[in-house]
């Protein structure tokens, strides 16, 4: 199995629905975005235009985050994804420094809240933030809990522009395999040599 994602930049218009869906699905704390979209102005007037680049953990085959992890908390799984075993993470943040995609986040000791003005967390935060213990690193899991239920990643399901395609590249009949063959998408920062599982159609 080779789980991967294709991001079609031609269809992305930076609605940020993916970021919202990810937050709801994974209950990430304030300031933590497992997926986000970078907006850049390109060209010069009168031919200036906006370009959008969705960013996410690339679940690399040659993952530098896995290589530098001193405890083995970051590991490559059989399905090809890179996951973090929270109980083994010591919060050294070496993986954050090693990741060329800026896809990892550190959970501070004092977990922030979206309800800071009330001086407390709401019920949702109190229950879900336990999944992000203080002093550990977090990142996109390709929505592992949703996949266990047969559901696609939340960002894929919510994408209004249908700019995200997810699936198994080892399955020649899968949608992602057919699109990969047709458009030959490229990885971000290929010069890093990480052999990522996320590809872009320009």
With contact defined as beta carbons under 8 Å apart, do 53 and 163 qualify?
no
Sequence ranges of the domains in the chain: 3-200
Give the model's confidence band at 92: pLDDT under 50 very low, under 70 low, under 90 confident, else very high: very high
Omega before 171 within 30 of 0, i.e. cis: no
Q: Which residues of 149-177 are buried (b: 16+ CB within 10 A; e: fewer)?
A: eeebbbbbbbbeeebbbbbbbeeeebebb
With contact defined as beta carbons under 8 Å apart, do 86 and 73 qualify?
yes
The single residue listed with the structure tokens 């959008």 is 52
Using one digit for the tens of pLDDT, what is the confidence trace for 2-11? 999 999 999 9
Beta strands in the chain (DSSP E): 3-8, 35-42, 49-56, 74-76, 82-84, 104-106, 137-139, 164-168, 198-201
Q: Which CATH number is correct for 3-200, 3.30.70.20, 3.40.640.10, 3.30.360.10, 3.40.50.2300?
A: 3.30.70.20
Q: Region 171-182: what's the mean pLDDT?
A: 98
What is residue 114's predicted lDDT score, i.e. its pLDDT?
A: 87
Using one digit for the tens of pLDDT, what is the confidence trace for 53-65? 999 999 999 999 9
Using one digit for the tens of pLDDT, what is the confidence trace for 22-55? 999 999 999 999 999 999 999 999 999 999 999 9
Count of Cβ atoms closer than 10 Å to residue 67 Cβ: 13
pLDDT higher than threshold 90 for residue 109: no
């Amino acid at each position: 199995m080779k789980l991967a994602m294709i991001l079609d930049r031609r269809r992305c218009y930076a609605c940020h629905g993916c970021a919202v869906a990810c937050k709801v699905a994974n209950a990430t704390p304030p300031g933590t975005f497992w997926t986000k979209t970078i907006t850049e102005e390109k060209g010069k007037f009168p031919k200036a235009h906006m370009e959008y680049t969705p960013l996410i953990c690339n679940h690399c085959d040659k993952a530098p985050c896995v290589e530098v992890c001193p405890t083995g908390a970051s590991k490559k799984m059989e399905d090809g994804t890179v996951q973090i075993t929270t109980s083994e993470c010591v919060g050294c943040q070496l993986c954050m420094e090693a990741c060329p995609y800026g896809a990892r986040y550190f959970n501070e000791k004092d977990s922030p809240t979206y309800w800071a003005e009330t001086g407390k967390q709401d019920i949702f935060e109190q229950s879900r933030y336990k999944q992000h213990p203080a002093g550990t690193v977090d990142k996109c899991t390709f929505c592992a809990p949703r996949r266990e239920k047969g559901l696609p990643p939340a960002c894929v399901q919510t994408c209004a522009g249908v700019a995200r395609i997810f699936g198994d590249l080892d399955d020649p009949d899968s949608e992602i395999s057919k699109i990969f063959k047709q458009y030959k998408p490229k990885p971000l920062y290929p010069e890093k040599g990480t052999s990522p599982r996320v590809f872009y159609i320009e």
